[in-house]
Amino acid sequence: MMLLGIAQIAVDILYLVGGLVLGFVIGFFVARTVMTKYLKKNPPINEKMIEAMMSQMGRKPSKAQVNQVMAQMNRYK
């Protein structure tokens, strides 16, 4: 009779562990899909975007200026 109770506890623990693993796997794929869609909609700032922004302000940026702005952006991420 006691063996049946221990077996039931073991089965319950297996269900719990299986549910946690399944939840982590599903959560990982959902989070990856959401982040991929977000990055397609809002791409990170690159050098061409900085050059375009400076050109719109009426100045021709040099490579050093673009690199300086990129370094500042990366420092404050």
Q: What is the pLDDT of residues 20-74, one digit of tens each?
A: 999 999 999 999 999 999 999 988 888 889 899 888 988 888 889 999 988 988 8
Print the domain residue range for 56: 44-77
**Could you give the angle at the alpha carbon of 73 between the alpha carbons of 59 and 35, nearest 5°?**
120
The answer to whether 37 and 44 are in contact (CB under 8 A) is no
Q: In the predicted model, is pLDDT for residue 1 greater than 70?
A: no
The set of residues, in sequence order, having a beta carbon less than 8 Å from that of 54 and lying 6+ positions away, is 60, 61, 65, 66, 69
Q: Are residues 50 and 60 in the same domain?
A: yes
Q: Are residues 18 and 39 in the same domain?
A: yes
Residues 34 and 2 in one domain: yes
pTM score above 0.85: no
The pLDDT, as a whole number, for residue 24 is 98
How far is it, in rounded angstroms, from Cα 23 to Cα 28?
8
Six token digits for residue 17: 């562990």
Q: So what's the pLDDT on residue 5?
A: 82
My answer on whether 33 and 17 are in the same domain is yes
pLDDT at res. 3 = 64
Residue (of 57, 43, 51) closest to 70 by Cα position: 51
Same domain, 4 and 22: yes
